[in-house]
Amino acid sequence: MATTKTPGTAAKAAPPLLDACIGLGLAVLVVAASGADIGPPRGIEPRPIDAGALALAVLVAAAVALRRRYPVPVLVVLNAVALTWSAAHYPGLLILLAPPVAGYTLAALRGWRWGLAGVLVGALSALASLHLAFGGAEPVGIIGSTVWMTATVGAAGTAVGYYRGMLAASRAQLAREAQTREEQSRRRVAEERLRIARELHDILGHTMATISVQAGVGIHLLATRPAQAAEALSAIKQISDEGLTDVKVLLGVLRSDDGEPDRPRAPRGGLDQLEALLDPVRAAGVRPELTVHGDARPLSAAVDLAAYRIIQEALTNVIRHGRARTVRLDLRYEPTRLVIEIRDDGTATGAIGRDGHGITGMRERALALSGRFTADRHPGGGFEVRCELPTAEES
């Protein structure tokens, strides 16, 4: 069966393979340079390459291949190999390139503190190796060049380590930002779904309750007063058409992806249409009493629609569950808020008092605008819904 390798697997496999190639190349270079006796002349007769030198070269290759996994032990081993090579008086000085490789790796992986320690160990090891190789008669300038090379390699490793750390931090930050954007997008989708569900509940609840009331009136009057029965059927048609229009608008919001600016984003509704909400209440045999306190003023679209929907749902509950004869609706325009009070004189003991979807939806609308909402039985009888909505200035 054929297997595939992912890019991440290939990336993880590349550094060990690269290190093995570097180690092998360094070992071959050291042996070749030693065989050619490349380097400044020494006062001590060099020892010919033998099995010991080859073993040290193999140890260099193996240590460099493992430098990322074990940086500290590799630093110790490569410095020990350089000292041993110089103490044995093998020819060539390219063995001194091995310890800086370990110092670079330590600085890149562990930071500048470890890198500084590696530079100090490497510099001391290089000085000791030169002293052993030349028998105390080192050429002028070779010590300074060796120490400078060791420090430069350690600084380069530190810079590379910082760069890798900044790159990793940037990638992590980008990943967190992407996750945050995704969570915000999911939250917006959930909020939009909740808003649409709330709108559908209010629209369909009010529409169906009104249709039920008008149908009952039509059935009752069909035989005795056909003209009034026809008016009830006409009202059913009107409220059905309006409900279908609102539902189409909501479905259009769900389906729209063209971003047309003129497309309505929510069903119609506002306190300017409040009188239309009272007609089904009258048709149900409940007498509405509307009182407006203060000077009515334009409200923000969100507050206006929320107030309309809360009143609509409260009146729908009165029609469906209240068993009331009258319902009093008070609107109070205060400087920083709109107060809505809806109280009926019903005697129902069932669904209107329970915290169902309707009351939950009204409460959510109020809280979404930093308002307050209560719905409970009134001590003087009946059921009362009270809502406070901040005006645009306070919101």
Residues 62, 158, 145, 117, Cα dihedral to 10°: -70
Per-residue pLDDT tens over the stretch 357-380: 678 888 988 888 889 999 988 888
Per the prediction, the chain carries an average pLDDT of 79
Q: What is the pLDDT of residue 338?
A: 93
**Coil/strand/helix, residue 297:** coil
Cα→Cα distances 390→276, 292, 335, Å: 24, 17, 9
**352, 317 contact by CB (below 8 A):** yes
What confidence tier does 228 reach under pLDDT thresholds 50, 70, 90? low
Question: What domains are defined for the chain?
Answer: 12-139 (no CATH), 285-395 (3.30.565.10)
What confidence tier does 350 reach under pLDDT thresholds 50, 70, 90? very low
Per-residue pLDDT tens over the stretch 235-253: 677 667 766 777 766 666 6
Q: Residue 33 and residue 285: Cα distance in Å, rounded?
A: 110
Per-residue pLDDT tens over the stretch 41-97: 565 677 788 888 899 989 999 998 998 899 999 999 999 998 898 888 888 778 888
What confidence tier does 112 reach under pLDDT thresholds 50, 70, 90? confident
Reported residue count of the chain is 395
Give percent of the chain with pLDDT exceeding 70: 77
Q: What is the pLDDT of residue 328?
A: 92
- DSSP letter string, 83-134: HHHHHTT-S-SGGGGHHHHHHHHHHHHH-HHHHHHHHHHHHHHHHHHHHHHH
Q: Residue 310 and residue 275: Cα distance in Å, rounded?
A: 14
- Name residue 326's beta-bridge partners: 287
Average the pLDDT over 210-230 and give the result: 70
Q: Residue 213 and residue 233: Cα distance in Å, rounded?
A: 11
Per-residue pLDDT tens over the stretch 154-205: 888 888 888 888 888 899 999 999 898 889 888 888 877 777 777 777 777 6
* Residue with the two structure tokens 């409940």: 286
2-11, 58-67, 112-121, 222-231: least confidently modelled range: 2-11
Per-residue pLDDT tens over the stretch 265-302: 555 668 888 888 888 788 777 889 999 998 888 888 88
Comparing 36 with 298, which gets the higher pLDDT?
298
Here the tokens at position 351 are 């669904």
Q: What is the pLDDT of residue 213?
A: 67
11-20, 30-39, 158-167, 333-342: least confidently modelled range: 11-20
**103, 157 contact by CB (below 8 A):** yes
Residue 388 has pLDDT above 90, yes or no: yes
- Name residue 291's beta-bridge partners: 330
Q: What is the pLDDT of residue 140?
A: 65
Q: What is the pLDDT of residue 18?
A: 86
Q: What is the pLDDT of residue 342?
A: 93
Q: What is the pLDDT of residue 11?
A: 43
Per-residue pLDDT tens over the stretch 304-328: 888 988 998 888 888 877 678 899 9
Residue 223 has pLDDT above 80, yes or no: no
99-103, 221-225, 318-322, 348-352: least confidently modelled range: 348-352
